[in-house]
Amino acid sequence: MSTTNDTSLLSSSSSNDSPLVILLQHDTDGNLMEDVGVESVLTRNDNINQSNNSSSNIITMNQQTITNQLPPLREQSSIYTVQVEPVPNSSTTKSSLISKYERDIPAYLMGTNCTFEQMIKKEQNHAIHSVNIHILREIALLLHRENIIYYEKSVWHTYLKCGTGTLKLGDGHKYSLDSLKYWPKKLKSIIQSTKILEISETPFTNETYLNLVQRYLQQLKNRKQQYRTKILEITKKITNYYLVIEPIIQNFIQSQLHSLNVETRHRVKLIEFEYIYAQLKVILNGTNLNNDPIQEIDRLCRSIFIYEHCKQEYILLTHYIGEKKQLLKVSDIIHAICLPVDIKIMENQNIRQQFLEQHRKSFDQYQKSMSKSLLDLAKIDMLERKKLYDDALTNLHQNQRNLPLCQQFDSLVTKAIQAILLNITQTVQCTFQLKTYELFQKIPLNEIN
């Protein structure tokens, strides 16, 4: 192993101004789950189509369960289902994936929802008012599905680039393997949950993933063309459709799909972070580190993941309380202040009213006190986790300095570790940004004052 005394480059990546990473977990529907741990840095992944002879260096790491202190976020339903269609001029059928966003009619275009119709009425344009509202709603649904396909393609093209080793990450990732072929874990979840492919072998082969992704992208392309053909048929006799009407409807749809746009951009980011993490693991696997430094690196990665998770929970909790959300769930009985009999029989309405007001004030104070206590506990836990991470980093530095120069980490190992720590930090932050958006429909700055 080539050696250079370069451990000074292992500066802490947990500063407030550094971006954020994790092991991504998915449920049986392929949806992103709560972060429950960080994968061992030197554990080989079956999704990597890369030859590696350092299997003796593999270490399995126990995953840490992190309890979420906030009210649970809304659960995601299955994103994909299998759509079975007959093949024209044949007795056979074909199966294809379809996103729930494309399959379902959105609430804002339902006939019982007046949002779309109100938007049309506000437009001061004769061209759009001359078209029947039901036709406009049909056009809007087709345009909605076109937009959904655009978002889907951006995610699945990223899958394809990861699996074919063509994902370009920019100049900021100098220690990457441009040719690494890696299929993100969510693809396996989608195959297993939807049973779109009748495949029993595990792990899935490179051809399995490639065929699924290419086929789905082609299906998206075909469906997009079908929607556009249908739009052409409906609008061929509508005056000024492309010049006036479609831009108005498109702007409305894009505003309604803003949340999905945010979610899609974060999904793509998380896929890219997972791909970078896989690249860095391969780089470290090729350095022939022995067991002791591998364990140290794994402990360091685990500690920064837990610290960043606690830090982002604290930030999210701070924003949640700042939005004056109630942390305590109060039953309807308590909220209605159900009075005991000895109070109810008191005829003096003034005293009863004073008692009720005092009860409300006391409860408000209790709410504020409990919110402060929860924030204090979360902050103490975050600072304790930070100390554990700082200690792990210090120990790694110290142990390297105590080694002979020829046994210390070389520049490649040092910079790869530094990049992995930053990757873990970035992934956790990106995940919590999405959580924050789900709660508040906005993404505050991830900073601690």
**Two tokens at 394?**
């210090």
pLDDT tens track for 254-280: 999 999 999 999 999 999 999 999 999
**Direct distance between the N- and C-terminal alpha carbons of the chain, in angstroms, rounded to an integer:** 44
pLDDT tens track for 132-155: 999 999 999 999 999 999 999 999
Task: Give me the amino acid identity at 47.
Answer: N
- Give Cα separations from 435 to 70, 72, 303, 326, 447 (angstroms): 11, 10, 22, 18, 15
Closest listed residue to residue 318, CA positions, set 430, 426, 436: 436
pLDDT averaged over the chain?
78
427 vs 62, more confident = 427
Residue with tokens 């919590």: 432
pLDDT-based confidence at residue 30 (cuts at 50, 70, 90): very low
From 66-75, 169-178, 393-402, the region with the lowest mean pLDDT: 66-75
**Two tokens at 301?**
């990665």
Backbone angles phi and psi of 199, in degrees to 5: -130, 135
Q: What is the DSSP code (8-state) at residue 330?
A: -
- pLDDT for residue 70: 35
Distance CA 224, CA 102 (A): 11
- pLDDT for residue 92: 56
From 21-30, 77-86, 203-212, 280-289, the region with the lowest mean pLDDT: 21-30
CB 243 within 8 A of CB 126: no
- pLDDT for residue 442: 75
pLDDT tens track for 151-170: 999 999 999 999 999 998 76
All residues at 6 or more sequence positions from 445 whose CB lies less than 8 Å from its CB, including other chains: none
User: Could you give the percent of the chain with pLDDT greater than 90?
Assistant: 47
Bridge partners of 118, per DSSP, are none
- Give Cα separations from 15 to 47, 337, 390 (angstroms): 32, 47, 11
From 75-79, 172-176, 210-214, 303-307, the region with the lowest mean pLDDT: 75-79
Alpha-carbon Rg of the chain, whole angstroms? 28
325 vs 70, more confident = 325
Estimate the share of the chain in helix, then strand, then coil, as percent rounded to the nearest 5: 60, 5, 35
DSSP 21-68: -----B-TTS-B--------TT---TTB------GGG----PPPP---
Q: What is the DSSP code (8-state) at residue 96?
A: E
CB 61 within 8 A of CB 39: yes
pLDDT-based confidence at residue 216 (cuts at 50, 70, 90): very high
Q: Count the alpha carbons within 13 Å of 310 in the hemisphere toward its beta carbon.
A: 25
Bridge partners of 362, per DSSP, are none
pLDDT tens track for 328-350: 555 444 455 555 666 666 677 78
Task: Give me the amino acid identity at 393.
Answer: L
